[in-house]
Each structure stands twice: as structure tokens, then as C-alpha cells.
């Protein structure tokens, strides 16, 4: 099982944005030294210090220069008009060259109404833009001269530069919250990054099943087929004492829960395409109860090494291949302690578990025993 450190660069009170940007790079380097398999950063806008990474392709290029082994994933680029698909292709290809083939593309249609309004994007069109972008990206990753003609984009024949670095496959993954979007990711032949596990373990299983069902008829929409399932967790922390692990992450985690509650309820009211997010209301009564959030779902993971291993083992048994763990917002030193503790006491166990039968092996992996 693979574990990816995920950052949005949360600035605790008293920490400048410049300082936090430097810290996240140092934490990424520490993650590689501690055995993490990958590093990912999101694209966020107008977040006022809650998440200051708005140009993940630039941050990841800098991290690439400071690391040698970890996979590097944008998680996720917003597939919307302000990110033209040709620019996305150019950016991921450049990152792949600079990192010696370690780049992975994560994509999303945005779950943030403030971002959509800020860039003038109609929420009812985001699924259409997502599908169109993926189709163009797929062409760009497989055809040396790209041409496309649709209602959204008209692209005359052009050679993408740089194109298909070294002939390598660039794995593509899609952020998903609803069961429908999980199934669609499977049908489009891309990996999935599950982001609404706060609704509970049964919902996670439903999403896994939906993805697997879609994958039975997968098409290489993004150029090649990537079948791999990841799950986002926030508030991740690890300490020998469970109470201390939870206390250190409580403030920033509960603040984030308030943020996503606001985003998702607003979008669910504005577009039928976001109706699944209305289910976030199911946890409103417990949104300030960290113990409930941790015990009822894998969305927040904080505790002892044994606690994290137990949660990861359950997810692996359900079919999850990769864990995207957001260790962020506790302060630089606390973040580093969590990374080191996980590297020493958690990752060796998770790395001993075999890959799932049928999952795509990442390009740098050496094929090993596979789980049935």
C-alpha cells in the first residue's frame, strides 16, 4: 500500500505565507527521507491562508529539485476554462521531465463555490468542462499533433511541446465525491481519489464498488488506462499517545470541516450536478466532535501508530491502493514529528501489504506479489 503526503499549505496563526511555503518543501523532503511514496499538492484559490497553494505545478517543480524518488502528483488541477487543457499538458510534461518521470496528474472540477464565482464559472457546466479537458489531455498524451473541435474548445493542429517525455506514461487520476463520479472515473479509465469519506465506511465501500463497476468498461479517455483507487484523509497525525495525537490536530481539522460544510451545502443548492454534496448535512450534528469524526469514518485519521495501521488495513481490505494523507496545519514542528513517526512506525507495515489484483502498477514500481 502506498502513502502520499498531501499538502494545501495551511498557515497557522503567526506563520507568514512565505514561511509556510518554505516549510512545506522541507516537509516534503523529510517525507521522502521517511519513506513516503509520493507527494501531492492541491490547487486552491481565494482561501485566505487556509490553503495557499494556487500553483501546484510550480511548487512540485521545486520539490522535484529537492527529491529523487517520490512520485509527484497535482491533486488536483481544476479542469475549468482558466486552466486551458493545452497549458495543463505543457505543465505536466515539463514536471515529468524535471522529475525524471515522476509526475502524475490529478484532476477535478472544483468543489469550491468561491473559486467558481471568482473565475466566473457556472457550476452546472463543470462536469462538461471536466469531460472535455480529459478528452483533450488524452489526445495530447497520445498524439504528437493535437487537434480538437467542439462547442467548448477549437484547437487547430498543433504540436505539443514538450510532448510525451521519453514516451513515458503519465498516470491520470480524478477527484471524486459522489458514487456517480466514482463510476465515471472508472469508465474513463483514470484512477480515482475519493474525497467524501466523512459520510462513513459504508459510503466508502459504495464508492469503491461504483468505481470497480465503471472500470469494467474502461476507455482510455486520458490516453492510457490507470486503475488505481486512493482515499483522501485530513487531520492526519500520529503520536504514541492517542489523546495527544487527536488534541494536536483538533483545532485545524474542525476548522476545515466547517469550511467544507459551507462549500458543499452552497454548491448542492446551486447545481443538480453537486447534489451528492448535500449529504454532508448528515454529519452537521457532530461536526465539532473530533472523536466521532475519527471513529465513524476514515476521513480524519489521528491516533497511535496502531490506530493508523488499523484504519489503513481496513481500507486496503476494501480495495484502496493509495492513501493521500494531509499532514498540515498543526505547525511545522508538529507536522515533522507526525511525518517521522509515520515513517518509522506505520509505513513499514503498510508497505508489506501486496498490490491489489488488477490495479495499475505505478511506473517506478517493481512488480511484486499481488493480493487476490
Q: Residue ranges of the domains in the chain?
A: 2-252+292-371
How high is the pLDDT of residue 48? 79
- Beta-ladder partners of 173: 106, 191
Cα distance between residue 10 and residue 20, in whole Å: 8
Output DSSP code: residue 143. -
Residue 13 CB-density burial (10 A; 0-12 exposed, 13-18 middle, 19+ buried): exposed
Rounded to the nearest angstrom, the gap between the alpha carbon of residue 193 and the centroid of all alpha carbons in its chain is: 6
* Strand, coil or helix: 161: coil
Per-residue pLDDT of the chain (372 residues; tens, 9 = 90+): 999 999 999 988 889 999 999 999 999 999 999 999 999 999 999 987 789 999 999 999 999 999 999 999 999 999 999 999 999 999 999 999 999 999 999 999 988 999 999 999 999 999 999 999 999 999 999 998 999 999 999 999 999 999 877 778 999 999 999 999 999 999 999 999 999 999 999 999 999 999 999 999 999 999 999 999 999 999 999 999 999 999 999 999 999 999 999 989 998 899 888 888 889 999 999 999 999 999 999 999 999 999 999 999 999 999 999 999 999 999 999 999 999 999 999 999 999 999 999 999 976 543 333 343
Output DSSP code: residue 363. T
Among 23, 59, 14, 17, CA closest to 41:
59
Residues 6+ away with beta carbon under 8 Å from 333: none
The torsion angle over the Cα atoms of residues 181, 121, 130 and 24, rounded to 10 degrees, is -80
The correct CATH number of 2-252+292-371 out of 3.90.1640.30, 3.30.930.10, 2.60.40.10, 3.20.20.30 is 3.20.20.30
Pair type for strands 322-326 and 355-356: unpaired
* Strand, coil or helix: 72: strand
How high is the pLDDT of residue 364? 57
Cell readout for 369 is: 506479489
Pair type for strands 322-326 and 2-7: parallel
The torsion angle over the Cα atoms of residues 151, 152, 155 and 156, rounded to 10 degrees, is 20
CB 123 within 8 A of CB 116: yes
What b/e string do you get for 109-136 counting C-beta neighbours within 10 Å, with b at 16 or more?
Answer: bbbbbbbbeeeebebebbbebbbbbbbb
- Please list the helix, strand and coil fractions of the chain in percent, rounded to the nearest 5, in that order: 50, 20, 35
- Is the N-terminal amide bond of 162 cis, ω within 30° of 0? yes
Cα distance between residue 361 and residue 310, in whole Å: 24
Rounded to the nearest angstrom, the gap between the alpha carbon of residue 217 and the centroid of all alpha carbons in its chain is: 24
Residues 6+ away with beta carbon under 8 Å from 108: 76, 77, 78, 79, 130, 174, 175
Cα distance between residue 29 and residue 17, in whole Å: 19
Rg of the chain, C-alpha, whole Å: 19
CB 328 within 8 A of CB 44: no
How high is the pLDDT of residue 47? 84
Residue 18 CB-density burial (10 A; 0-12 exposed, 13-18 middle, 19+ buried): exposed
pTM of the model: 0.95
Amino acid at each position: 500500500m502506498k502513502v502520499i503526503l498531501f499538502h494545501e499549505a495551511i498557515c497557522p496563526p503567526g506563520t507568514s505565507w512565505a514561511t509556510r511555503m518554505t516549510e512545506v518543501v522541507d516537509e516534503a523532503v523529510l517525507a521522502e527521507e521517511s519513506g513516503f511514496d509520493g507527494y501531492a499538492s492541491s490547487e486552491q484559490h481565494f482561501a485566505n491562508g487556509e490553503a495557499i497553494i494556487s500553483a501546484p505545478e510550480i511548487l512540485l517543480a521545486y520539490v522535484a529539485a529537492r527529491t529523487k524518488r517520490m512520485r509527484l502528483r497535482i491533486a488536483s488541477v481544476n479542469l475549468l476554462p482558466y486552466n486551458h487543457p493545452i497549458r495543463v499538458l505543457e505543465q505536466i510534461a515539463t514536471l515529468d521531465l524535471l522529475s525524471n518521470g515522476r509526475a502524475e496528474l490529478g484532476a477535478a472540477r472544483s468543489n469550491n463555490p468561491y473559486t467558481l464565482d471568482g473565475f466566473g464559472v457556472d457550476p452546472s457546466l463543470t462536469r462538461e468542462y471536466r469531460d472535455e479537458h480529459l478528452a483533450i489531455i488524452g489526445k495530447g498524451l497520445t498524439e504528437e499533433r493535437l487537434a480538437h473541435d467542439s462547442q467548448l474548445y477549437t484547437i487547430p493542429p498543433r504540436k505539443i511541446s514538450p510532448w510525451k517525455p521519453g514516451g513515458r506514461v503519465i498516470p491520470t487520476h480524478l477527484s471524486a465525491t459522489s458514487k456517480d463520479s466514482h463510476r465515471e472515473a472508472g469508465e474513463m479509465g483514470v484512477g480515482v481519489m475519493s474525497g467524501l469519506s466523512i459520510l462513513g465506511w459504508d459510503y466508502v465501500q459504495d464508492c469503491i464498488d461504483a468505481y470497480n463497476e465503471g472500470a469494467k468498461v474502461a476507455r482510455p479517455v486520458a490516453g492510457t488506462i490507470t486503475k488505481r483507487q486512493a482515499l483522501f484523509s485530513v487531520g492526519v497525525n500520529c503520536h504514541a499517545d492517542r489523546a495527544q495525537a487527536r488534541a494536536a490536530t483538533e483545532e485545524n481539522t474542525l476548522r476545515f470541516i466547517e469550511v467544507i460544510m459551507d462549500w458543499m451545502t452552497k454548491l448542492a443548492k446551486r447545481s443538480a450536478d453537486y447534489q451528492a454534496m448535500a449529504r454532508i448535512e448528515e454529519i452537521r450534528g457532530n461536526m465539532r466532535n473530533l472523536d466521532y469524526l475519527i471513529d465513524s469514518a476514515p476521513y480524519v485519521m489521528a491516533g497511535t501508530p496502531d490506530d493508523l495501521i488499523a484504519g489503513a488495513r481496513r481500507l486496503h481490505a476494501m480495495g484502496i491502493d493509495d492513501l493521500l494523507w494531509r499532514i498540515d496545519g498543526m505547525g511545522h514542528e508538529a507536522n515533522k514529528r507526525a511525518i517521522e513517526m509515520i515513517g518509522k512506525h506505520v509505513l513499514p507495515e503498510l508497505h508489506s501489504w501486496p498490490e491489489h489484483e488488477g490495479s495499475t502498477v505505478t511506473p517506478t514500481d517493481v512488480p511484486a506479489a499481488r493480493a487476490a
